[in-house]
Structure 1
Amino acid sequence: MDALDLARWQFGITTVYHFLFVPVTIGLSLLVAILQTVWLRTGNPAHLQATKFFGKLFLINFAMGLVTGLVQEFQFGMNWSTYSRFVGDIFGAPLALEALITFFLESTFLGLWIFGWDKLPRLVHAACIWLVAIGAAMSAYLILAANSFMQWPVGFTVRGPRAELTDFGALLTNQVALATFPHVLLASWLTGAVLMACVAAWHLKRRRNAEVFRVPMRLALVGTVVVGAGILFTGDNLAKVMVRTQPMKMAAAEALYESAQPASFSLFTIGNLSGKEPIFSIDVPGLLSFLSTGSFDGKVEGVNNLQAQYRQRFGPGDYAPYIPLAYWSFRFMIGFGMLAVLVALVLLWLTRRGRLPENEWVWRAAIWAVVLPFLANSFGWLFTEMGRQPWIVFSQLKTAAAVSPTNGVGHVAASLAAFTLLYGVLAVIEVRLLLKYARQDPPEPEPATEDDGPLAFAY
């Protein structure tokens, strides 16, 4: 491997690792806010117990996500100085807003929420966690606006080695950002809901604290099913935007080498994905045309045709991503996400009207389903970023030209080893903390009064 390969591995590893925490933060902040609102409306002490219990898990994840995000940013200057110089003026505005406004909103009101249980009026205190949830969503949008510039650059002009921002409004209203944000937001809510269902299922399986965990279980299962339907809708819209902006990515997702009208979608393929006929394939006629154009008879451009267009536009080169990775990551993203929804739908039926299933495998499925949204999120980002290759900023800057020119293999290998070791330690800490507090009983019930005790990591 050369320095470029190692730098790509390092950024990919740290980004995927960091994004394990982000959707949990976004998802749990909303669910904890809903639980606290339910407590305010009903006065049931069990809902207050559930709020504090899952609030503790949210706080652990928030802290760990903050640390991993800081480490991730170091790499821009270390390994990608040419890229940083090119996009610095563009990324500066949305990332500054993210740090100065949304992160300030999150951290300030999260502090008020943690220490304000016995000091703030109940409605004001509940508003704090809602503002944290809103801040987390706003933060996600600003970061996605920066990322969307890499997918479809708008609102800029190039002067020398730098892209300079000319229209901040165009950057914030990038069609890719507008399509990506609801999809990522819903995926994050699904992740938080499945995690909540997993923890509640572990307690209900042991018939412990059923009065506390029934409502979170039902809330999480209903949320997973509803959000899953929304993910299908937003995913369809995102696919159409992707075809308009990066048609090569959609062609790679289907391993469609020759343009087709109509174009079928292969659910599963065995065989060569390099342009030869597959050994075995299960296809849905017209589905790729619908995903791409909204019509079951629409035309979808193939890899070979797009290669010819890009070579004419950008010069000689290979402009297709690694097809097998794009093909399978796209399917794993959809498959794992929808499997989580299916598990939730089955559990929703089996736990209707307060039932607690006796079958051991039902609860095991509920607990182990927690890995599904994390896998779906990871494969989704692999597809998003790898499907854009060979561009780091589409049509403007190739990945091979963006790496720091003075970095040698030894420098990158050393930092890769250091980050891997650090993230390994953080992973052990995160898992142990979450398992420790997820297995504990909820805090003792308290009367629904203004004198509720402060939330802390331990009771």
Structure 2
Amino acid sequence: MSVLDLSRLQFALTASFHFLFVVLTLGLAPIVAFFQTRWAVTGKEVHERLTRFWGQLYIVNYAMGIVVGLAMEFQFGLHWSGLMTFAGEVFGAPLATETLVAFFLESTFLGMWIFGWRRLNRWVHTTLIWLVVLTAYLSAFWVMVANGFLQDPVGHVVEDGVARIDDFGALLTNPQAVGALLHIVPVCLLTGSVVMVGICSWHFLRGTPDVDFFRRSLRVAVVVGAVAATFAIAFGFEQFGYLTEGKELALGGSAAERADFQAEMEALHGPGDWLPPTWISFAWPLMEISGTMYGLVFYGLLFFLIKNAFDRTRPAWLRRFWQRFYVWTVPWPFVVVACGWLIREVGRQPWVVYGELTTAEAVSGHEAGTVLTSLVLFGLLFATLAALDWWLIARLARRGPHDLVLGSDGIGREEPELVLMGRD
């Protein structure tokens, strides 16, 4: 493999791993904030336990995502110095803002929320988790602004071979950025809901004594998932239109149609324009089918919950069949998210900044052996972090709402003196 191929593969590995962490983090954060708000309003212990149980899963995933995110930022300078030279002043501006939002504001608020448990007034503490949610989604917005520039480079001028911001408003309102954000927000909420439903179903299969706890969790997850599936599907079709803009022939047309399309694009931008490889054609149908499936599943679940589908009077074999189905489909939304990333990023090749800078021009001048070494090392690191993340989440999820780490002394025990100090 060439230096370009190895560099692309390494960044693809980094970006996809990071995004899989992010999508679950963004999906769980608003749900945790909702549970804590109910606790602050009602003062009921069950809502506190719901907040702590799902909150500790969120924290584990957040921490792992930060590590991979740092590696991804590092790679812009390591393997794509040409991109930074040409578009660093435009592409780097939203990423720098995202760093300030994510690593300074979001992490600060999250740290105060974690260590302020029972030490802060409950309304101040609840405000902190909502600030975490707000800054998390602000971070997502700035990342999509940066990525939207790569898809459709607007709001800039090129002077002496360097891109500079000319219209900041156009950069912020880029349809490629706004459309992607509108799609990815419900996708994240849908992913978080799928994970929650899977965990609840696992406990029901095991005959959990905490039936009320997981029924409450299930109801919230199903409502959020049903609404999120609706918007994810709607904005997904809209986003596909943004990305293709009449290029559907490139994904499934005949050889003659693809050749005509290629000639048209070369006339606009020069040789080697946007033409997705044949192997990526599976991604869109898979996303379309999966979105429809989850829409049906969550609306079906919503109907069954209204009809008390998990009541013991229902046939046991039917309940257990669907519970197993929900458990085994937990990884599926992550596969679908990866397909969306493939359509958005691979389909843009060979451009890194569409129509202005190719990946061959953007790659750094390293030796192939150097890039291969970093690819192997980073790949092992990411695989280890992913395995550790899922092992920790699975361990905490299996434990259930007992011996909770969040809000305790660190090993699952409550702190009586802090409990007394924290009561209003």
Q: TM-score, normalized by length of structure 2?
A: 0.90
Paired residues, what number? 405
1:307 match: 262
- SS for the counterpart of 1:153 is coil
Match of 1:294 in 2: none
| Per-residue CA distance 1:364-396 (angstroms, 9 max, x = gap) | 111112112111110000110011112111110
Cα distance, 1:187 vs structure 2 = 0.6
Q: Which amino acid aligns with 1:229?
A: T
Which residue of the other structure, out of 356, 364, 374, is the alignment partner of 1:396? 356
Q: Which residue of 1 aligns with 2:401?
A: 442
SS of corresponding position for 2:163 = strand
Supply the AA of the counterpart residue of 2:376: A
Equivalent residue, structure 1, for 2:286: 332
Distance, in Å, in 1 between the alignment partners of 2:90 and 2:409 is 40
Residues 228-278 of structure 1, C-alpha deviation per residue, up to 9 Å, x if partnerless?
11112212322333344xx43x3323x135xxxxxxxxxxxxxxxxx27xx
Change (3 A) 1:455 1:241: farther
Distance 2:82 2:403 in 1: 55
Which structure: greater helix fraction? 2
> Does the 8 Å CA contact 2:283/2:343 hold for their aligned counterparts?
yes
Give the conservation status (yes or no) of the 8 Å contact 1:343–1:366: no
Question: How far apart, in 2, do the equivalents of 1:455 and 1:210 lie?
Answer: 26
Identity of aligned residues (%): 39
Consecutive unaligned residues of structure 2, counting only runs of 5 or more, are 414-424
Q: Which residue of 1 aligns with 2:324?
A: 364
> Does the 8 A contact of 1:252 with 1:326 survive in 2?
no
Query: 57-66 or 45-54: which moved more?
Result: 45-54
Q: 2:356 is aligned with what amino acid?
A: Q
Query: Match for 1:311: what amino acid?
Result: E
Alignment counterpart, residue 336 of structure 2, candidates 357, 372, 376: 376
Distance 2:353 2:409 in 1: 44
Aligned match for 2:299, one of 314, 320, 345? 345
The CA deviation at 1:402 is 1.5
**Inter-CA distance 42–207: structure 2 relative to 1 (3 Å threshold):** farther
**Residues 114 and 455, structure 1, Cα contact 8 Å, conserved in 2:** no
Q: 1:46, 1:211 → 2: CA distance?
A: 9
Q: Identify the match of residue 251 of structure 1 among 246, 249, 252.
A: 249
SS for the counterpart of 2:355 is coil
Cα displacement string for residues 185-229 of structure 1 (whole angstroms, at most 9, x for unaligned residues): 111111111111111111122231111111111111121111111
Aligned pairs for 1:11-30 within 5 A: 11-30=11-30
CA distance in structure 2 between the aligned counterparts of 1:162 and 1:430, rounded to whole angstroms: 40
Partner deviation per Cα, 1:316-346 (whole Å, 9 max, x = no partner): x232423423321112222233323333333
Name the CA distance, whole Å, in 1 between partners of 2:164 and 2:350: 22
Conservation of the 8 A alpha-carbon contact between 2:262 and 2:275: no
Paired with 2:77 and 2:108, the residues of 1 have a C-alpha distance of 29
Which SS does the other structure have where 1:231 is aligned? helix
Tell me the residue number matched to 2:39: 39
Structure 2 counterpart SS, 1:52: helix
- 2:88 maps to 88
1:223 counterpart letter in structure 2: V
Deviations 1:132-155 (A, max 9, x none): 111111100000000000000011
Aligned to 2:235: 234
Distance 1:431 1:235 in 2: 27
Aligned partner letter, 2:329 = A
Partners of 1:457 and 1:395 in 2: how far apart?
Answer: 54
How far 1:353 sits from its partner (Å)? 4.8
Residue type of the partner of 1:304?
A: A
- Check whether the contact 1:154–1:171 (CA below 8 A) recurs between aligned residues: yes
Partner of 2:58: 58
Segments of 4+ in structure 1 off by > 4 A?
A: 452-457
Contact (CA 8 Å) 1:225, 1:341: kept in 2 or not?
yes
Note closer, same or farther for the CA distance 1:444–1:211 as it changes in structure 2 (3 Å cut). Answer: farther
- Whether contact under 8 Å (1:200, 1:214) holds in the other structure is yes
RMSD over equivalenced CA pairs, Å: 2.1
Is the alpha carbon distance of 1:442 and 1:202 closer, same or farther for their aligned partners in structure 2, counting shifts above 3 Å? Answer: same
Separation in 1, partners of 2:172, 2:351: 21
Aligned counterpart, 2:134: 134
Task: Name the CA shift for 1:367/1:256 in 2 (closer, same or farther; >3 Å).
Answer: same
Counterparts of 2:373 and 2:196, CA distance in 1: 38
Q: Mark the CA change 1:147 to 1:178 in structure 2 (over 3 Å): closer, same or farther.
A: same
Deviation at 1:453, TM superposition (A): 5.1
Question: Which digits, 9 at most, give the CA deviation of each residue in 1:6-35, with x for residues without a partner?
Answer: 111111111111111001111100110111
Q: Displacement, 1:363? A: 0.9
CA contact (8 A) 1:116 1:454 kept: no
Give the AA of the match of 1:228.
Answer: A
Q: Determine the structure 2 residue equivalent to 1:79.
A: 79
Any conservation in 2 of the 1:35–1:48 contact (CA below 8 Å)?
A: yes
Residues 6 and 49 of structure 1: is their aligned pair in 2 closer, same or farther, counting only changes over 3 Å? same
Conserved? CA contact 1:32–1:55, under 8 Å: yes
How do 1:420-435 and structure 2 match up within 5 A? 420-435=379-394
Structure 1 CA distance for aligned equivalents of residues 401 and 223 of structure 2? 22
